[in-house]
């Protein structure tokens, strides 16, 4: 079952992601591009998931995290999670 790609603002942090990234940072332009591409893939991604079962991590979130890992040359998912702060 595919979970919706909903951003949970402030669940574990008092400072939102939007406040952490400067307004002129290049990653913001990349985010717009990636969101556009993932929006086009929404139907295809939806077809790949069963109707029932446990909710999964949204594939869009996994793809965004993987892209950040590549852009910032982070060698593992564990390090990526540590460096997100």
User: What is the pLDDT, as a whole number, of residue 1?
Assistant: 67
Residue-averaged pLDDT of the chain: 84
Residue 14: pLDDT band (50, 70, 90) is low
In a domain, 11, yes or no: no
In a domain, 5, yes or no: no
Provide Rg for the chain, Cα atoms. 14
State how far the Cα of 66 lies from the Cα of 22, in Å rounded to an integer. 21
State how far the Cα of 79 lies from the Cα of 74, in Å rounded to an integer. 7
> pLDDT tens for residues 36-63?
999 999 999 888 888 888 888 888 989 9
In a domain, 28, yes or no: yes
State how far the Cα of 59 lies from the Cα of 81, in Å rounded to an integer. 17
Task: Tell how many helices (H) and how many strands (E) occur in the chain.
Answer: 5, 0
Count of domains in the chain? 1
In the chain the first and final C-alpha atoms are separated, in Å, by: 29
Q: Which domain holds residue 61?
A: 17-83
């Amino acid at each position: 079952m595919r979970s919706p790609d909903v951003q949970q603002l402030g669940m574990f942090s008092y400072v939102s992601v939007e406040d952490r990234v400067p307004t002129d940072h290049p990653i913001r332009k990349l985010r717009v591009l990636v969101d556009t591409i993932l929006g086009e893939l929404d139907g295809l991604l939806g077809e790949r998931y069963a109707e029932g079962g446990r909710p999964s991590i949204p594939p869009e979130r996994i793809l965004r995290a993987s892209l950040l890992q590549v852009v910032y040359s982070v060698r593992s998912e564990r390090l990526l999670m540590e460096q997100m702060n």
